[in-house]
Structure formats: structure tokens, C-alpha cells
């Protein structure tokens, strides 16, 4: 995505800000997003409440805005905290973003099938969920995710006991 023009980027950012009901990105958020768009690995170390989640929550939408009319990007968010993942799914869903979580507490087979089919823009799961199940390992290597995956984010990495 190295050939993105300033106008296209500004337009994409404007759409995302409206969707999330915020006025502007913080400087650290912009820096992280621009580095991701340049294909760089990004590490964001910021305190609670600084807006780290907005980076991975918005990134697939930014990609889709830049690729219009194609809208199929997906971010995987790995987090060890089920309650946080469920809260984020509720929030994203409330603003019209397709989000889901996988894990032992996910009993809805339709959501699981939707995750496998790439129907969600943001998919949350614990390290054990993604790697401890042959179903989700197969999903990660599927053609669907090879085409749609734009980001893998590790949230709350300090809570992960084993790497």
C-alpha cells in the first residue's frame, strides 16, 4: 500500500473517525497505523486508556476504505482476557463493525462458521483458542485468511504467561 495518496488516506481516516464517533486519532495511533500501512511490524507500548485498541479495531476498516469497493479485510486479535474480548466485540458490534470471538465460551456454531468463512472484520481469541484447536489452526492457513488477513495484533501481551 506504498502508493497511497494523502487525499485517499485522509478520506479513509475521516470515515473511520466518524464510525468510531471520535474527532481525531492521537499521534501514537496515527504513527502506528501509517507504519502498518507501510508493511512494518509495530509495537505500541502505551498506558491503559491511551487508545491502543483503536489501532487494531480500525485497521481492517482503513484497509477496506483504501481498497474500495472491495471490503473483506480481517484483523485477528490475540488476547488472554475473555471478558475484555467480549466487551470489545459488543462495542464494535454496537457501531456496526462485524466482530466475533472464538474460545471455549463461544457456543454459537453460526458465529464459528462465520469466523471460518471470513465474515468478520475483527476476530478475537486467546492464544490457546487459536493454536489449541485444529479447527482454528486450519482456519489460519486457509485461502480465506490468506486473502483477507491484514493484521495480527497481540493485546494485553503482559498477561500471556507462555510464548
Residues in Cβ contact with 138 at an 8 Å cutoff, skipping those fewer than 6 apart: none
- pTM for the model stands at 0.89
pLDDT digits (tens, 9 = 90+) for 111-139: 999 999 999 999 999 888 888 888 998 99
Task: Tell me: pLDDT of 81 over 60.
Answer: yes
Q: How many helices, marked H, and strands, marked E, lie in the chain?
A: 8, 4
pLDDT digits (tens, 9 = 90+) for 38-71: 999 999 988 888 889 999 999 999 999 998 877 7
Q: Residue 63 phi/psi, 5° resolution?
A: -55, -45
Q: First vs last Cα of the chain: how many Å apart?
A: 31
| Per-position DSSP letters for 58-119, written without gaps between them | HHHHHHHHHTTT----EEEEE-S-HHHHHHHHHHHHHTT--EEEESTT---HHHHHHHHTT-
> Do 60 and 74 contact (CB within 8 A), yes or no?
yes
Amino acid at each position: 500500500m506504498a502508493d497511497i495518496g494523502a487525499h485517499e488516506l485522509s478520506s479513509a481516516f475521516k470515515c473511520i473517525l466518524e464510525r468510531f464517533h471520535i474527532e481525531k486519532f492521537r499521534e501514537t495511533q496515527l504513527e502506528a497505523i501509517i507504519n502498518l500501512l507501510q508493511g512494518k511490524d509495530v509495537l505500541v507500548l502505551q498506558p491503559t486508556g491511551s487508545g491502543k485498541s483503536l489501532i487494531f479495531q480500525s485497521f481492517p476498516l482503513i484497509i477496506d476504505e483504501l481498497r474500495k469497493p472491495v471490503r473483506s479485510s480481517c484483523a485477528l486479535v490475540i488476547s488472554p482476557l475473555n471478558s475484555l474480548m467480549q466487551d470489545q466485540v459488543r462495542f464494535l458490534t454496537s457501531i456496526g463493525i462485524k466482530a466475533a470471538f472464538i474460545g471455549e465460551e463461544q457456543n454459537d456454531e453460526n458465529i464459528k462458521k462465520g469466523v471460518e468463512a471470513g465474515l468478520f472484520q475483527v476476530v478475537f481469541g486467546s492464544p490457546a483458542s487459536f493454536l489449541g484447536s485444529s479447527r482454528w489452526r486450519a482456519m489460519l492457513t486457509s485461502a480465506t485468511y490468506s486473502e483477507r488477513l491484514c493484521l495480527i495484533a497481540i493485546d494485553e501481551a503482559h498477561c500471556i504467561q507462555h510464548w
